[in-house]
Amino acid sequence: MSYGQGGPQSQWDPWKPNSQQPWSDGDGGQSPDWAALAEASETRNKRRRLLFIGGGVLAVVGIGTAVAMGVVSADDDGKAGRPTSSLPATAELPSGSGTPSFAPTSAPPPLDPKEFVASKAKDTAPNGPGIMFPGRQLTMGANVYKKGPTADTTACATAVKGSLPGVLTANGCTRLMRVTYTRDGIAVTVGVAVFDTEAQALKAKQQADRKSFVQALSGKGVAAFCNGAVCRSTTNSYGRYAYFTLTGFTDGKNVTTKDTQVFTTGDDLAQFTFQQIRRRGETQASAAAGE
């Protein structure tokens, strides 16, 4: 007859702290089921690993959310996306080196060439037909003019005709230089009247009329021209100089409005005379500036 412990047999659960491991005497007790215990331990370890992995995923998601929230917060703080109009004004920005300042120059203004041919007091350079009309020929554009005779007198009225003798005398002409150029059967005499002041030369120019002309200068291979024939004349002034041209055919033919070569010849010589008088002023102005 066997005797057992009274009451229901206790079941031992290795994961329950209050459970009791059954003990039996050497005769009727059974040894623990070690295989079952190992299987239960392995199951528990798997559960713990799953919990750890799940927790890690949740932690990463939480960090990603925090970063995203941080980025949004940076965009919304009004600085990262601030429009350029809210940048500091130029005056608020730090300034670099200042603009260098320069002392005002003391260079005198250029001298006016006309001033040096406007009066006898300043127009002191040597003068004469050979200086005013140098060389043996003159080139103006494509036209080449051969230089003929020259003349120079202080009796201005003797070298002009028509109403011009009275005009020059009344305004105090002190010298009259003449030169003649020829080209292709056309001759032109240039006369340059010299006065003491610009006002006298200008008045002489204004008083000259259609009957005021310089006397044609012939000789030195140039036949007489404009003796009774119709010729073309011009009158101009610059500074204290009044200058005149008389242009016509060397064969005595009358000049008409269709004779464009005659007009071109007269205009070329008038232009050259102006340039020579102005160059005279430029030379003296340059010399005065270098003193």
Residues 73, 75, 79, 80, CA torsion sign: positive
| Sheet (strand 143-153) strand order | 137-140, 143-153, 175-183, 186-194, 241-249, 232-238
The answer to whether residue 147 scores a pLDDT higher than 80 is yes
pLDDT digits (tens, 9 = 90+) for 75-94: 444 444 444 444 455 545 45
Lowest mean pLDDT, pick from 15-19, 36-40, 173-177: 15-19
Domain boundary assignment for the chain: 128-282
CB burial class (10 A; 0-12, 13-18, 19+) of residue 109? exposed
How far is residue 183's CA from residue 35's CA, in Å, rounded to a whole number?
142
The answer, yes or no, to whether residue 206 has pLDDT greater than 50, is: yes
The amino acid sitting at 225 is F
Report the sign of the C-alpha dihedral through residues 86, 91, 92, 95, in that order: positive
Phi, psi of 132 (to 5 degrees): -70, -35
Q: Give residue 103's pLDDT band: very low, low, confident or very high (50, 70, 90).
A: low
**Better-predicted residue by pLDDT, 63 or 127:** 127
Rg (Cα) of the chain, in Å, rounded?
Answer: 61
Out of 1.10.10, 3.40.1000, 1.10.20, 3.50.70, which CATH number does the structure's domain 128-282 have? Answer: 3.40.1000
For the chain, where are the alpha helices, taking DSSP H only?
34-76, 129-132, 164-170, 198-207, 260-289
